[in-house]
Amino acid sequence: MKDCENISESMGRWLDGELSPAESESIRAHVAQCADCREAQRKLEKLQLALEGALMAESKSIEFEPFWRAVQLRIAEKRTWYEDALDWSRGLFTASRAAWAIPALIALLLAVASLESYFPGWRGGAGRNAFAAVDSIDAHGRNVALLREYDSKTTVIWLYEDQEGENETAEEPPPPGPAF
């Protein structure tokens, strides 16, 4: 039975002459002894005959001269650039390509939108949200300054030391605060 299954798969190739001599001989020998496979061969050959009859009925009905004149007319016709572009673009928008292209485009758009999640700062760290946001500051009575520098997107919290207390004990005066 397994042989019959294999031969059923190869029957078309055998009848089309696409098998090697050894494979052909093996199938021929089996079919000679198997009624089921002979029946399968008969059906396939009958289908082939029917196909030839159906498809080749028109084989002699076109004349060369009118056909050639029509081709010459097309050659003589000057096509505009947009007709050429339209022909070219028709080839792009076939159903199978659309079936790939549309979901691929959706996946691409989602991937780009997700880039920030997977690669934060991929836009170079200079995006809108690069600044640190300071929600609260408590310097416990000391002076404090908050600076945002736009070019480098830097947030600076600067704590000024208590000048009076420090001056009593320090060997040298503390440097002045940053000159921002």
Partner 1 sequence: MKLPKNLRRRVLLFSLLSFIVAAGRGAAQKQPQIVQVKIGTILASNKNDEFDAKLKGLENQLRVLKYRSYRLLKDESQNVPWQGSKVFEIPGGRSLMVALQEFQDNRIGLKVRLTEGQKPLLDTTVRIANRGNFILGGPPHEGGVLVLSISAVAQ
Partner 2 sequence: MELSDRELVQKCQTGEMSAFEELVSRYHQKVYMVILGLLRNREDALEVAQEAFFRAYRKINSFQGGSSFYTWIYRIAVNLAIDAQRRQKRNPLDFRESMDGLLESQDEVARDPFADVHDKELRQNLTNAINDLTPEHKAVIVLRTIEGLSYKDIGEILGCSEGTVMSRLHYARKKLQDKLSAFL
Binding site for partner 2 (CB under 8 A): 9, 12-13, 16, 18, 43-44, 46-62, 64, 67-68, 70-71, 74-75, 90-91, 94-95
Residue 68 or residue 160: which is nearer to partner 1 going by CB? 160
Q: Which of partner 1, partner 2, none sits in contact with 22, Cβ below 5 to 8 A by type? A: none
* Minimum distance of partner 1 from residue 168's CB (angstroms): 14
Dihedral class, residue 153 (left if φ above 0, else alpha if ψ from -120 to 50, else beta): left
- The answer to whether 69 and 59 have CB atoms below 8 angstroms apart is no
Q: Quick one: DSSP state of residue 11? A: H
* Minimum distance of partner 2 from residue 1's CB (angstroms): 18
- 3 state DSSP class of 117: helix
Q: Which of partner 2, partner 1, none sits in contact with 71, Cβ below 5 to 8 A by type? A: partner 2
* Minimum distance of partner 2 from residue 90's CB (angstroms): 6
Measure the CA–CA gap between 45 and 157, rounded to whole angstroms: 89
Which residues contact partner 1 by CB under 8 A? 95-96, 99-100, 102-104, 106-107, 110-111, 113-114, 116-118, 120-121, 125, 129-130, 132-140, 142, 144, 147, 149, 151-152, 154-161, 166, 170, 172, 174-175, 177-180
CA angle 144, 145, 150 (to 5 degrees): 155
Residues in a beta bridge with 148:
155
Residue 55 or residue 110: which is nearer to partner 1 going by CB? 110
* Minimum distance of partner 2 from residue 96's CB (angstroms): 9
Measure the CA–CA gap between 150 and 161, rounded to whole angstroms: 26
Measure the CA–CA gap between 49 and 54, rounded to whole angstroms: 9
* Minimum distance of partner 1 from residue 88's CB (angstroms): 22
Measure the CA–CA gap between 126 and 152, rounded to whole angstroms: 8
Q: Which of partner 2, partner 1, none sits in contact with 38, Cβ below 5 to 8 A by type? A: none
- 3 state DSSP class of 2: helix
